[in-house]
Amino acid sequence: MRLALGALAGASLLTDPLEVGVPTAVAAPMVTFYVANTGDDNADGLTPDTAWRSIKRMNFSTPDYARVLFRRGDTFYGELAPPLGCELGAYGQGPRPVLTMFKLLNQPSSWTLHSPKVWRIEIAAPETHEGYTASTDANIGYLMVDGVVKATLKFNLDELFQDWDFYCDIENGVLYVRSEMNPSDRTEDLRAAPNGNAFGGTGRVIYCEKGFNNIHDLHITGSGGCGIGGTGSGVWIHDCLIDYIGGAELLDGSQRRYGNGIEHWVNVSGWLIERNEICQVYDAAWSPQGYAGAHGGWRDLTVRNNFIHECTQSFEFWSTGEPTAPGYERVLVQGNYCENGGYSSFADARPDQDVRVHLLTYKLRTPVDITIERNVFVNAFSAYSYHSEAPPTSMVTRENVICLRRGQRLEVQSQRAIESAMEWQAETGRESGSTMKVAV
For 318-369, the pLDDT digits (tens) are: 999 998 999 999 999 999 999 999 999 999 999 999 999 999 999 999 999 9
In which domain, by residue range, is 290 found?
A: 17-100+201-438
Band of the pLDDT at 164, cuts 50, 70, 90? Answer: very high
One domain for residues 419 and 310: yes
Closest CA to 72 of 50, 51, 97: 97
Give domain status of residue 3, yes or no: no
pLDDT at 318 (0 to 100):
96
One domain for residues 90 and 226: yes
One domain for residues 82 and 140: no
One domain for residues 170 and 36: no
Give domain status of residue 7, yes or no: no
Q: Which is it for strands 204-207 and 190-194: parallel, antiparallel or unpaired?
A: unpaired
Domain limit, last residue, from 147, 162, 194: 194
Closest CA to 371 of 309, 283, 289, 431: 431
Position 10 pLDDT exceeds 60: no
One domain for residues 205 and 306: yes
One domain for residues 302 and 376: yes
Q: What is the pTM of this model?
A: 0.95
One domain for residues 429 and 326: yes
- What would the pLDDT profile of 219-274 be if each residue is shown by its tens digit? 999 999 999 999 999 999 999 999 999 999 998 889 999 999 999 999 999 999 99
8 A C-beta contact, residue 383 and residue 411: yes
Q: Measure the CA angle with vertex 281, ends 277 and 286; round to 5°.
A: 65
Domain limit, last residue, from 160, 194, 228: 194
pLDDT at 20 (0 to 100):
61
DSSP-based three-state secondary structure for 430 = coil
Give domain status of residue 404, yes or no: yes
CATH number at residue 293: 2.160.20
pLDDT at 6 (0 to 100):
36
One domain for residues 79 and 187: no
One domain for residues 158 and 297: no
One domain for residues 250 and 374: yes
> What value does the mean pLDDT of the chain take?
93
Closest CA to 212 of 62, 31, 84: 84
Domain limit, last residue, from 134, 165, 194: 194
How far from chain centre, in Å, is Cα 13?
A: 23
Whole-number Å distance between alpha carbons of 246 and 256: 12
- What would the pLDDT profile of 75-113 be if each residue is shown by its tens digit? 999 999 999 999 999 999 999 999 999 999 999 999 999
Q: Hey, what amino acid is at 42?
A: N
pLDDT at 23 (0 to 100):
55
Whole-number Å distance between alpha carbons of 64 and 372: 35
Number of domains in the chain: 2
Whole-number Å distance between alpha carbons of 177 and 191: 12
Whole-number Å distance between alpha carbons of 259 and 287: 10
